[in-house]
Every structure is written in C-alpha cells, then in structure tokens.
Amino acid sequence: MLARIGFLAPILVFLAAFFGYPLVANFTMALREYTAASFYTGEAPFVGFANYATVLGDPVFGTALFNTAVFTVASLAFQFGIGLALAVFFQRHFPLNGVLRSMLLIPWLLPLVVSGTVWRWIFDQEYGVLNQTLLGLGLIDAGIPWLSSTAMALPSVTVANIWVGIPFNMVILYGGLQSIPAHLYEAASLDGAGPWQRFRHVTWPLLRPVSAVVLMLGLVYTLKVFDVIMVLTQGGPANATQTLTTWSYSLSFQELDFGLGAAVGNLLIVIALVFALFYLRGLRSSAGAPTRERR
C-alpha cells in the first residue's frame, strides 16, 4: 500500500501544485471583488456570482464570444484542411521532400511574438508587403487597412493564426499516414479504386483517431491564443478582434479588476471542458465500435 502511495505521490503533488491550486485560486478570485488595492490591504469582499453577472451582462461579452467562435472554427478548419493536404502531398517520394517538409516547420518553431511581429509588418497599411504587392499588380488603388478596419481585422488575425498552426497539423497527420499499411492501398488499387476512393475508404477511416487528437489539441490551443492577437491588434479596433482570452487579460491587467478577469477565464475553462467531454465521448464511441462490429 505504501509503495502504491509513494508511486503516485509525485504526480499527485505535481497536479495539485501546478493545476489544482491555480484553478481553485482563479475560481475563488472570481467570487470576490479583487482589485489592485486588495494586494495591499488584503481585503477582497465576497460578492458571490456578481462578477459572472457583470461579465455576462457586458456588451463586450457577446462580441468576445462571437469572435472566439469565429476565430476558433476558421482556424481549426483551415489549419486541419491545409495540414492534411500537405501531409498527403509529402507521402509521395520526390527530391527535396525532407528539406521542404522541414522548412514548413519554421512557423511552428518561431516564438509567437516573432510570428505576430512578422505578420504585423506584412499587414501594415502603408509599408506592408501585402499591400505593396497588390498595388504593384494593380489589383487595388489604395492600401487596405488590414489591422485597423473593424471588417478586416478579425480575418487578418485569423490568417496569421492559421499560418502558425499548419505545421503542427501537418506533422501529426503525416505521422498518422505513415502508420497506414501500404498493402491496403495496393489492394484498393487492384480493386480499381482511384485516388479519391482510396482516400475516402482507406486513408480517412484509419486516420480518424489521429484527426480527433489533432482537432482536440488544436481547439484547446486556439481557444487560448493570446500572443498573436495582442501583437497584431491588442483586441481592437473597437473590440473587433477581442476574444475571451484577450478580454480576460484586459480586465485583469489593464483595468486591474482581477475578479472580473478571473470570471471570464473560468467561463473559457468551462467552454474548453465541454468540448473535452465531447471529445472523450467520441473516443469512447470509436473504441467501442470495432468491438460491436466483431460481435
């Protein structure tokens, strides 16, 4: 018995210190009026769920929730679609395959602040390479305000985040494709299956478990994206790129209302947990499907 406790103790202590304590502290902070003065006076009056009511009644909440949904769905869809296309493409044997695949990992290796700074230069209205290229081709008459327009800011920030996430999707999906036995493709070809039929009936079904992991990890990552948005727009203009993550930061460290910021952070955790439950339920269903088929 003591051996079992000793075996589990390190991981339990680690989880309690680095996961349990921050979660409990954030939850209790959201139940109090916690401001900058609380650090000096030690006083943080208990207000119950008043912070949650304030946050949910704020007009910014609806905007931030909508932006978070659009940003997350668009990022996941394009990151996964382009990553899968690249993974399938690099399955073929051709010269410089490994070199090109390694170069595509660069966006993933760069710090997010650096990536955001690069895209800020690309999207600059006056001197950005994108506007200069479009002007040179005669496609536009004046520079487009990619980051200062309320209509263009969110799509521009989403494009930058898609660029950052494509390598991760490509690497994991490429690894999944390598685990599919080659003889299945050979058998499908002998049966007269074309490229699309081989992908639909061989690649996709066997790649589904890996795809679920990629999408779930991508969802968790995208929900908490902060660096890229802050470097590019800081949530503006006029909250056009404000997400729940950047709003939580703004409430806590710009308006110094830590109780409201903690409440927004907890709502984001709840949203991530809901999707995690759907993911686990999907995994359980996938694991049970072969068993039912064998019966």
- With the CA atoms of 56, 58, 60 and 65 taken in that order, what torsion angle do they form, in degrees rounded to the nearest 10? 10
The pLDDT tens digits for 209-232 are 888 889 888 888 898 889 899 999
The pLDDT tens digits for 177-204 are 998 888 888 898 888 888 889 888 888 8
CATH of the domain at 198: 1.10.3720.10
The pLDDT tens digits for 67-93 are 999 999 999 999 999 999 999 999 888
Which structural domain, as residue segments, surrounds residue 257?
Answer: 32-39+60-285
Q: How many domains, in total, are found in the chain?
A: 1
Residue 129 lies in a domain: yes
Residue 276 lies in a domain: yes
User: Residue 145 belongs to what H/E stretch?
Assistant: none
Q: Could you tell me where the DSSP H helices lie in the chain?
A: 2-15, 21-29, 36-41, 50-57, 59-89, 97-103, 106-109, 112-122, 129-136, 153-178, 182-190, 195-198, 204-223, 227-232, 244-249, 258-294
**Distance between CA atoms of 1 and 6, rounded to whole angstroms?**
9
Structure pTM? 0.86
Do 244 and 268 form a contact (C-beta atoms < 8 A)? yes
Residue 48 lies in a domain: no
Residue 274 lies in a domain: yes
Residue 175 lies in a domain: yes
